[in-house]
Amino acid sequence: MLTLLSFVVALGILIAVHEYGHYRVAVACGIKVLKFSVGFGRPVYTWRLKNRPTEFSIGMLPLGGYVKMLDEREDPVDPAERHLAFNNQPLRVRAAVVAAGPAANLLLAVLLYAIVNWGGLQEPQAVLASPVAGSIAERAGLRGGERVQQAAFDDEAWHDVRSFEDLRWRLTQAALNGRDVRLQVTDSGTDSAPVRSVLLPLGQLNAADADAQMFRKIGILGPWTQAAIGEVMPGGAAEKSGLRSGDVVLQIGNLTIVDGQQLRETIRASAAAPGGLPQTWQILRAGQALALPVTPEIKREGGQSVGRIGAYVGAPPALVMVRHGPLDGLWNGAVRTWEVSLLTLKMMGKMLIGEASLKNLSGPLTIADYAGKSASLGWSAYLLFLALISVSLGVLNLLPLPVLDGGHLMYYLWEAVTGKSVSDAWMDRLQRGGVAILLGMMSVALFNDISRLLG
């Protein structure tokens, strides 16, 4: 229920803001707006504002919206109102009205990021877990437990790293842009230890690696956590072995376990060991050392066999409050919106030319799932989710596809260059092509959604 409600609320907010951008600029430019609708289909509720010609409505299907303006190309217009029709406006006005929808989504993202920045967010400290074996991080000399203080792209200036999420964002930017990253770290996890510099050559990653496994290739999957057992699932390998919530794992066989990430990787890799053989786990329970035989279960995930014990692994990471002042928070919101927009465009471009997998496309099922998960984590996580989707919606609508706002802007660019509008025949052909492309993208996204759910 929470997933459905949070998804509908998210769609309603983002669509309403997008359409309000069109509406507000149209009214400001003296264009008569006949109808403003959030949702399609039969209206659930309609109303009018005093002394306004616009009918506002909420449709039954919350999967879009529209603003209907007075336009001679659609219906006959009273000669006395011809100056209020959209099609009779100067080119710059028409372009401004069309661009206002995506711009409203981008401005909403700036505001949402700023609100989170102002309110503050508890984020994991930038202390690294054990790197994945054979990964870029391990080859660079990281072993786990290092606190990251600063990061820089290539030879650019250093920037403070305030949390693990901050670090993760910088690594994402570097990987997608093919740039190396330098880190200033302290080995003991405290600020008083000597600082050393580590180079992560992320420029060697292929653009096609920008997928769900990207951070496994980099080797930095999460912040440092204690190697503790969390909630134990009934009937799982952990319960059968006698493990309990709160147990701290010290050793598996002859391997000393130093953190939760190493414990997860060790369990995962147990699928490569001879099946059915128990492992001897040395654990600490309420200050008492115990030895337990544990036999992980073998599961198939993503086409490969992995070990699972049926329990949450790793204690919650240490958190730090990240909060910004009024101007700093707003500026950071604008910067984050710009950076996410660029990364979205670059990812779309890489998918278009085959340098990135189409599996990165997500549809309504994945968005609904993330909406529910973010809402369950609190208002800050939900606002960040809204901001990300708002950026995606703004950028998507600016693509030069005829059925989108960007397609109309493309028509206006042609008109500005040639001095004449696109012919009706060409308009019809382009619209059909745009619909075909959009339906293709939606089909791939929906297929990816179903694959993720079934996988």
Catalytic residues: 19
| One-letter amino acid for residue 356 of the chain | A
| One-letter amino acid for residue 418 of the chain | T
DSSP string for 263-331: HHHHHHHGGGSPTT--EEEEEEETTEEEEEEE-PEEEEETTEEEEE-SEEESPPPPEEEE---HHHHHH
Q: Give CA separation, 449 vs 55, 103, 300, 359, 366, in Å.
A: 36, 28, 19, 9, 6
**50 token code pair:** 């005093």
φ, ψ (nearest 5 deg) of residue 188: -85, -5
How many CB atoms are closer than 10 A to CB 361? 19
* Length of the chain, in residues: 455
Q: How far apart are CA 324 and CA 170, in angstroms?
A: 18
Query: What is the distance, to the nearest Å, from the Cα of residue 16 to the centroid of all Cα atoms in its chain?
Result: 21
Q: How far apart are CA 221 and CA 201, in angstroms?
A: 17
Q: How far apart are CA 185 and CA 146, in angstroms?
A: 6
Which of 173, 218, 176 lies closest to 199 in space, CA to CA?
Answer: 218
**252 token code pair:** 């598996």
* Contact between 222 and 148 (Cβ < 8 Å): no
Q: How far apart are CA 183 and CA 147, in angstroms?
A: 10
| One-letter amino acid for residue 449 of the chain | D
